[in-house]
Structure 1
Amino acid sequence: MGSNEMGEVVTKRQKLSPEDKESLTGRKTDEVSNSSEEEPMEEMWSEETPLDPRPTISPHFSILHVLDLSYADIESLPQSISRLVALQKLYLRNCERLMQLPPEIGELTNLEVLDLEGTELLCLPKEIAKLVKLTCLRMSFYGYANQTVIPRKVLPNLSRLNELIIDVTPYGEWWDVEVEAIIDDLRSLKELRALKLYLPTAKLLEELTLIFPGLANFRFTVGRCEEHFISRLPRDNEEEFNNWEKLEKGLKYVNGDRIPHEITKVFKHVNAFFLQCHWTANSLSEFGHENLNEVKFCLVMECNEFRTIIDSKQFNQRNDGQAESEDFQDFDEAIVLGSLERLIVRYMKNMESIWKGPVGKGSMSSLKSLALHTCPNLTTLFTIDMLSNLINLEELIVEDCPKIDSLVSLKNSGSKSGLFLPSLKKISLLELPGLVSISSGLCIAPKLERMVVFYCPKLEKLSTMDISSTNLKVIKGEEEWWNALKWYESDLSMEHEDYLTSLFIPLRRNGDLFAQLTED
């Protein structure tokens, strides 16, 4: 717990100075010498009384402006929380045992930020309506609440709200009724600029039509998650998707069996798109190429009917199967995913390629990071036309794609000369048992700094065209693979071979691969 002149307290197990202790408790340092610095929250509570076994907040803390009890092991807040009359910001994030707030929370009338994200409450007390100065309210609800989690008239009373986050474990039909009432209340929040909300059906998006265009930030999750549905998405990918500072507007569509017009209507506004478990779509193109123009971050996973990410044949078709007007016939000139910077593809059972058909110049030209994980039928990664567009690609990860024999397909390609992937700095090739060649003889990655190869048993030869960079800092791989490696160029100098050997760091098969990959 630390303090300053503004009366801020943050329980991060920081040690108090003697001056801090005296200013917070009203006692001289020697009077609090028995306080445990290892349990900083204890100084905040007065002793329990026989009539009330719960600790109470010391009156000396009435000057506090900021209080952070995130991750604290607390079951409840004392009624004496009402003494913190000057409090402006209260953080109670990820308090696993806290399930409800006391009615006295309504006495904190100067509160501007109430952050309960990750703390699964049963419901909010109706007294929250008194907190009329709130500009930021973040909350999470326990999925089996089966009750009104936000009492009616609470949200309309918080007219100054600028940011509203409502997380809920999406189990049960009770939320269907609850969220409709919440959407009705949102119409009165004229200052709302940031909203995070779970919507069981796409139809509810239509009811937000008058709200979301005016939002600077939003995250909408649409679709029903089954009760036993377990996502295999790494936490860092989910955090990246939810990063409002980098990606202002995001849409997550889960368990869809069609592409409702409500989805495509919002899709036009998003720069972060997450598609998970769509049961009928064959490609991202079915959402409309014209709707992909603003997308910077795209994550697609567990869509078993996908054959490719972009299908150029879809460009000339509307949803009704009829051709578009003459102005839009030439796909070769079309720029698709021109703003995309990050593409992640995971667990795509039947996907065969990233792109099918002609590639318009400029398509995917902003892409900086591409990661493909567990795509058992993927055979084509890059064509020459696609490769020519990837002038900004800095990181490439290909993992568990057993049918890939080369990163570059030369089938039906024209010119094969030139320097490709000019910005690539990191490449990771993991568990690719069919990989024979990296670049099919093309000169790639002149700025490559880091290369990782793990369980690619058929990659028996390397070419200096594959690693032409003079910026290489590290090469990681299995020691057996490196020792058996042959080079295509018979005139490879001993000096250059020694240089590459000096960069090599062996990976252990029986060790934690992730830990080894993240080590410097």
Structure 2
Amino acid sequence: MQILQSKPELGTSDHENLQMHQSHLVIGTCTSNDESATGPAPEEEEEEEGIISMEEVDLLNEKREVFMQGHKLFPSDKEFLRRMIGKVPLSHEKEILENIPLDPLEMQELQYNLMEVPPLFSHHFAVLCVVDLSYTSINSLPESISRLIALKKLILRGCELLMELPPEIGKLINLEVLDMEGTEVMYLPKEIAKLSGLMCLKVSLYGHANQYQEDTIVETIIPRNALSDLSRLNELIIGVTPDGEWWDGEVEVIVNDLSSLQELRTLKLYLPTVELLGALIGDDTSLIFPALAQFRFTVGRHEERFISRLPYEVEEEFHDMEKFEKGLKYVNGEGIPGEITGALKHCKAFFLERHWTVKSLSEFGHENMNKVKFCLLVECNELQTIIDAKQEEIVLRSLQYLFIHYMKNMQSICKGPVGKGCLSNLKSFALHTCPSLTTLFTVEMLGNLINLEGLVVEDCPKIDSLVSLQPSGLMSGLFLPSLKKISLLELPALVNISSGLCIAPKLERMVIFYCPKLQKLSTVEVSSADLKIIKGENEWWDSLKWYESDLSRDHQFFLDYIFVPLTRDGDLMAQLAED
């Protein structure tokens, strides 16, 4: 249930007589056979089901509090209405409120069936400052929305059936936030330029909006010069399905308009070509990037009908601007354009997907990645190694998260000498589906990973050990002192984990799945006093042998106690998620 709150500050003379009270509006739905979370309706309630009456609206409007459940009301809401108009003692307030369902998932389901916005709310609630209709099935907004003269925030996230905004949106002169992320509209009306007080605009555009454009009198998907008129705009997020070339002309208009937005601090934009990135940042990248506290640029043309195999939550991590303020995604690229390296100097997050020529991440310049904390590499078929160092140097020292997915020809993580301090701040490292990878860690690199807390290695069929002792041969020391979680999944050639090195004294969780040649473990690999769980196949655990003949019975009993079996028949991801 979404409660919309406001403390309106009306400046127009027509509304000086309105008292400044708190206002609430709850919009959801209730199905016709309502035996929902609030229970069945008493018999005397049946005749009163439906939208609240005009008399009730007027009385509640005086109190500036309205609770509405779509087209029908739960019994508890009717009781609340009666209390508000004096028919129920105030002493019952706590009991009534406790009966109103508050579970967010349940409320999302209830809201989802709301098909239209009841016109009465925009006629009778002119004092509202916030309206949130997110994740409902509304397919239009009423013309009477223009009556919400005090409205400051209009939130329409994830409304899958809403395709356009009415021209009356331009009359909401006090609007500061218009948030339509996940609601793919065909176009923005030209009246959007009248919202001179708008400070935040988040919009998602339908992937085939150009087809709509050809069949209507709409000149552009985003009206020309509309953004430049929004001089107070400090947050602009435009999402678009990258289908076809229709977006090229639209984004050129946007880039031209951005130069006049002096207060812009947050920007998310898809740029089909590196030339457009160059037009945005200009010759001197220092002119735009310090002003932008947060940005996400996606550069490069997406292949039509291409379905990414990357898990949704991994890409969402890249888009977390609160965690990594400035980020660049470069997709389907060739070579190393200066526009990319110029932008990369300012980035804390870098996402490289399907680059066709790069053989190592080092080609982008170690000096250009000094600020990068998050790096996601996906399907770069020519990439053979991450770090290619010609001499011993400290590189990627700021990097905290490194995720690698589907690297067809990658053979090693590092090639050449490794400087002390290289990758020393890495906290989370994951490799998925690297069929040519033979070398994961050298001893020198392993010694740098003092902050690594999580390690995942999955579907790397040539890996026989996580640690290569060549050429060093060093066997002493304690490695991976911060490691808490390790997952080794589908490594059919894996014979040992650490080549006898003592690792992970703080290990809490170990998962080993389909590693048939890992027939022995060493106590130095599971010596942590913090170990809480080991997951693996029953057959593997029962046949497991230990390198040390002096493994105590108490230790063996402890390990058996914390072991949790995994099965190949069930959903592996669900089993891994369970504690």
Tell me, yes or no, whether TM beats 0.5: yes
Distance 1:268-1:10 versus aligned 2 partners, 3 A rule: farther
Which structure 1 residue ranges, 5 or more long, are not aligned?
47-54, 314-330
| Aligned position for 2:576 | 517
Q: Distance in 2 between matches of 1:45 and 1:375?
A: 51
Contact 1:85 1:109 in 2 (8 A): yes
Shift of 1:357: 1.1
Distance 1:42-1:353 versus aligned 2 partners, 3 A rule: closer
| Aligned position for 2:361 | 284
Shift of 1:237: 0.9
| Aligned position for 2:460 | 401
Contact 1:6 1:65 in 2 (8 A): no
Q: Distance in 2 between matches of 1:487 and 1:242?
A: 44
Aligned to 2:125, the other structure's residue is in SS state helix
| Aligned position for 1:492 | 551
| Aligned position for 1:482 | 541
Contact 1:24 1:61 in 2 (8 A): no
Contact 2:163 2:185 in 1 (8 A): yes
Letter in 2 for 1:195: L
Letter in 1 for 2:395: V
Shift of 1:406: 0.5
| Aligned position for 2:138 | 74
| Residues 1:26 and 2:58 aligned together | yes
| Residues 1:189 and 2:190 aligned together | no
Contact 1:195 1:218 in 2 (8 A): yes
Distance 1:3-1:269 versus aligned 2 partners, 3 A rule: closer
Normalised TM-score (structure 1): 0.90
| Aligned position for 1:249 | 326
Letter in 2 for 1:225: H
Q: Distance in 1 between matches of 2:128 and 2:181?
A: 21
| Aligned position for 2:373 | 296
Contact 1:460 1:486 in 2 (8 A): yes
Contact 1:424 1:448 in 2 (8 A): yes
Q: Distance in 2 between matches of 1:24 and 1:512?
A: 52
Aligned to 1:63, the other structure's residue is in SS state coil
1:291-321: CA deviations, max 9, x gaps?
11100000001000000111113xxxxxxxx
Distance 1:183-1:414 versus aligned 2 partners, 3 A rule: same
Q: Which of 186, 203, 210 in structure 1 is aligned with 2:275?
A: 203
Aligned to 1:205, the other structure's residue is in SS state helix
Letter in 2 for 1:184: N
Shift of 1:42: 6.8
1:153-183: CA deviations, max 9, x gaps?
2101110001001111112222111111110
Computed over aligned residues only, the root mean square deviation of the Cα atoms, in angstroms, reads 2.4
| Aligned position for 2:351 | 274
Distance 1:24-1:507 versus aligned 2 partners, 3 A rule: farther
Shift of 1:214: 1.7
Shift of 1:233: 1.4
Q: Distance in 2 between matches of 1:305 and 1:379?
A: 16
Letter in 1 for 2:511: V
Q: Distance in 2 between matches of 1:344 and 1:72?
A: 35
| Aligned position for 1:318 | none
Contact 1:435 1:458 in 2 (8 A): yes
Contact 1:140 1:168 in 2 (8 A): yes
Q: Distance in 1 between matches of 2:409 and 2:397?
A: 25
Q: Distance in 2 between matches of 1:56 and 1:379?
A: 67
Aligned to 2:436, the other structure's residue is in SS state coil
Q: Which of 52, 72, 93 in structure 2 is aligned with 1:35?
A: 72
Q: Distance in 1 between matches of 2:188 and 2:506?
A: 54
| Residues 1:84 and 2:148 aligned together | yes
Normalised TM-score (structure 2): 0.81
| Aligned position for 2:292 | 215
Q: Distance in 1 between matches of 2:338 and 2:122?
A: 56
| Aligned position for 1:129 | 193
| Residues 1:150 and 2:229 aligned together | no
Contact 1:112 1:136 in 2 (8 A): yes
Distance 1:124-1:480 versus aligned 2 partners, 3 A rule: same
Q: Distance in 2 between matches of 1:405 and 1:100?
A: 56
1:368-404: CA deviations, max 9, x gaps?
0000000011111100010000000000000000100
Task: Give the number of the structure whose alpha-carbon radius of gyration is greater.
Answer: 2
Q: Distance in 2 between matches of 1:262 and 1:45?
A: 46
Aligned to 2:525, the other structure's residue is in SS state coil
| Aligned position for 1:7 | 23
Distance 1:85-1:225 versus aligned 2 partners, 3 A rule: same
Aligned to 2:437, the other structure's residue is in SS state coil
Contact 1:8 1:65 in 2 (8 A): no
Contact 2:122 2:148 in 1 (8 A): no
| Aligned position for 1:175 | 247
Q: Which of 460, 480, 488 in structure 2 is aligned with 1:429?
A: 488
Moved more, 248-257 or 199-208: 199-208
Moved more, 35-44 or 184-193: 35-44
Q: Distance in 2 between matches of 1:43 and 1:463?
A: 62
Moved more, 282-291 or 58-67: 58-67
Distance 1:271-1:509 versus aligned 2 partners, 3 A rule: same
Q: How does 1:325-474 map to 2 (within 5 A)?
A: 331-332=391-392, 334-474=393-533
Q: Distance in 2 between matches of 1:8 and 1:141?
A: 30
| Residues 1:164 and 2:164 aligned together | no
Q: Distance in 2 between matches of 1:280 and 1:493?
A: 54
Which structure 2 residue ranges, 5 or more long, are not aligned?
6-20, 31-36, 39-51, 75-106, 214-219, 282-286
Q: Distance in 2 between matches of 1:218 and 1:58?
A: 35
Letter in 1 for 2:23: G
Q: Which of 14, 39, 63 in structure 1 is aligned with 2:127?
A: 63
Letter in 1 for 2:567: R
1:459-496: CA deviations, max 9, x gaps?
00000111121100011111111111111100100010
Aligned length: 490
Aligned to 1:378, the other structure's residue is in SS state coil
Moved more, 238-247 or 140-149: 140-149
Q: Distance in 1 between matches of 2:507 and 2:572?
A: 22
| Aligned position for 1:326 | none
Between the aligned residues of both structures, percent identity stands at 65
Shift of 1:130: 1.1
Distance 1:204-1:10 versus aligned 2 partners, 3 A rule: farther
Q: Distance in 1 between matches of 2:448 and 2:26?
A: 49
Aligned to 1:116, the other structure's residue is in SS state strand
Q: Distance in 1 between matches of 2:22 and 2:401?
A: 41
Q: Distance in 2 between matches of 1:85 and 1:444?
A: 64
Distance 1:347-1:44 versus aligned 2 partners, 3 A rule: closer
